[in-house]
Amino acid sequence: MKKNNDLLWYILAAVIIIADFVVKRHILASYRVGEVFGGIPGICDFIYVQNTGAAFSMLSNGTVILSIISIAFCIGAGVYWVMKKDKPPILKLVLVLLFAGAFGNAIDRIFYGFVVDFISIKWFEFPTFNIADMAIVAGAVLAVVYVIFFDKENKNG
């Protein structure tokens, strides 16, 4: 039964990676850099942006180092998944979200030399982002929640 449970987590990771991939490929094939192509009125615009850096444009033009970091993280997360047998569901979700997000952006960096971003929030100044970025942020927030409220190992010593 445990393996079947893991299968659902693998499927979730695959769904996130595939959704991110398909949307980005559509944008690459259909729009020019800087072109606005829709959005949600009052909330966000969809605009094609090429990001050669990380979050908030850190390490701009750092595609190679960011690719290496992403791949190393994905390998580390996979090894941790295999080595730590009894993970609580929230930790599994953290790992799945962080892995899928890192993998999705690594695909772009390796094959295109940039990450395709397209969601631009309208009601405050925030960098343009994508589905993989949302997975990474959600995973990071859940990781903090896990460490503060659920990580019994570290609380006991």
**Per-domain boundaries in the chain:** 2-155
Determine the length of the chain.
157
Our CA dihedral for 59, 64, 70, 71, rounded to 10 degrees, sits at: -170
Known catalytic membership, residue 20: no
User: Which 3 state secondary structure label does DSSP give 48?
Assistant: strand
Least confident among 30-44, 85-99, 142-156: 142-156
The residue with tokens 């490929």 is 25
Catalytic entry in 6, 108, 133, 151: 133
The residue with greater pLDDT, 69 or 63, is 69
Residue 157: pLDDT over 60? no
Phi first, then psi, for residue 72 (nearest 5°) are -60, -40
C-alpha to C-alpha distance for 154 and 157, rounded to whole angstroms: 5
Catalytic entry in 6, 86, 108, 117: 117
Known catalytic membership, residue 45: no
According to the model, what pLDDT value does residue 60 have? 77
Residue 57: pLDDT over 70? no
% of the chain at pLDDT higher than 90: 74
Model pTM above 0.85: yes
